[in-house]
Amino acid sequence: KISIDYSSPAVKDRTVWGEVVPYDAIWRAGANKATTIEFTTDVSLEGKPLPAGKYAFFAIPKAGDDAKWTVVFNKVSDQWGAYQYDEAKDALRVDVKPQFKKVNQERLTYTLHDQTADKGYFKMAWGKARLYVRFKVDVLEAGLANVDKALEEAKDEDKWAIYANGASFLLDLEKETKQAMEWADKSTSLREHSWNLFVKAQAQAASGDYSGAVATAAKSAEVGMANEDDHYYENSKAEIEKAVAEWKTK
């Protein structure tokens, strides 16, 4: 999880870059208190590692359309502006090239954008400048740890769902197919539901067992139709049928 806490100053017909925000000087990347960014897991930013934690976020803008700006992650997260900023407390500095748009962004905003399950970018927009900082997380390691922790804390009657969620997570990542199959098998051995049966079918297909996947998907449909309270099958029927049609061609 990534969270950004910031104040949002307005342009107010001013020249932001080079005047409101001087070039070649540390900037709080917001207003009032320093902007903070918190990562709940270890992350890499523009290819450089940063441990999990909460950081004050600063930027050093540079003049010129081709100039790269420096973004700074400082270990002292609770700061007012940049008045007590200490470079010695920096955890990471990376250089990124801003983009300049014709459209003016009146208030400073930060937005998070996922590109895949394990990477994306956050964007800062103010005035005509747009700053994109790419991040990547090891979601596999974190996800496996989360499943193990959930299983330790769960009641026995809830573990089937945790195994199914874990298998689905791995299938979405297209990683650790063998582990996904083991968890799907464990889930359906504890309880059979249209949902975890379809997860098992997907794991079989990912393992190359398409005939097994078709058979398990048929059982998913059978179980779903037999239970009028099974809203998963009701909502996923088209997806299941589409998957089965594709598997039958393999």
Asked if residue 46 has pLDDT above 80, the reply is yes
169-199 pLDDT tens trace: 999 988 899 999 999 999 999 999 999 999 9
pLDDT in tens, 71-93: 999 999 999 988 989 999 999 99
Pairwise CA distance, residues 167 & 179, whole Å: 7
The structure tokens listed for 187 are: 């889930």
Structure tokens given for 1:
């999880």
Average pLDDT over residues 57-78: 95
Rounded to an integer, what distance in angstroms lies between the CA atom of residue 241 and that of residue 153?
35
DSSP 250: -
- The predicted structure's pLDDT at residue 230: 87
Q: Determine the length of the chain.
A: 250
What pLDDT is attached to residue 173? 86
Kind and range of the H or E run holding 194: helix 194-206
Per-residue pLDDT of 8-23, as tens digits, reads 999 999 999 999 999 9
Residue 175 is predicted with a pLDDT of: 84
pLDDT score, position 1: 81
Q: Please report where in the chains the tokens 């999880």 appear, as a residue.
A: 1
% of residues, the chain, pLDDT over 90: 84
Indicate if the pLDDT at residue 145 is higher than 90. Answer: no
Tell me: pLDDT of 115 over 80: no
Rounded to the nearest angstrom, the gap between the alpha carbon of residue 110 and the centroid of all alpha carbons in its chain is 15
d(CA 55, CA 94): 14
Local structure of residue 96 (DSSP, 8 states)? E
| Domains defined along the chain, listed by start | 2-137 (no CATH), 139-247 (1.25.40)
Using CA atoms, how far apart are residues 92 and 111, in angstroms rounded to an integer? 21
Q: Which residue has the higher pLDDT, 145 or 185?
A: 185
Mean pLDDT across the stretch 42-52? 94
Instruction: Name the pTM for this structure.
Output: 0.66
